Amino acid sequence: MYGQVWKFLMERLFDRDRTVPQVAMSLEPGEMTTEADSSSSESASKIQWTIRVKLFNETSAAAADLGLVWRSGEPSFKAVLPYHLNPFEEKIVTIRGETSLARQKVDGTADGELFEHLLEELQATKLYLTYRDEKGDYFHTSYQRSDGQESLEFHNKLPVS
């Protein structure tokens, strides 16, 4: 019994200074095409869009089992992230979808503003990226976008929203 406790304590002591993965993420606009939404009233526009999710492992520890978590529940589209991200590796994942926006948000807006409206509609301005290290411990990146500015925070536990 004492041998198991001693072994556990020694493993934790040596693990405290280990390098853990930190995966940064960024959302970038892709192609967007708009047309009048025939299934809805004339006050809506249908947007076919692509969003590029840029992932970058900032450390010398590999990250595995990557996944996106929405604060407000699952979205209407699927984001398939790579399973594994090597140390200092960057991968770009393209997500495609279609949604309707109010015509006043679409007409006369610049592409950057349209992208911001689209992220708000998709509830993608606050996301969590989850991943694990080689020991099986999970880590999280909190992503937030406000007024075109992105911010990241790295966590050992998934924050409570």
Average pLDDT over residues 19-25: 90
pLDDT in tens, 97-110: 888 888 777 777 77
Encoding tokens for residue 48? Answer: 């076919």
pLDDT in tens, 31-65: 888 877 666 556 788 888 999 999 999 999 999 99
pLDDT, mean over the chain: 84
pLDDT at 93 over 90: yes
142 in Cβ contact with 128 (< 8 Å): yes
Decide: residue 25, CB within 10 A, 0-12 exposed, 13-18 middle, 19+ buried.
buried
63 in Cβ contact with 84 (< 8 Å): yes
Read off the pLDDT band of 160 (50, 70, 90).
Answer: low
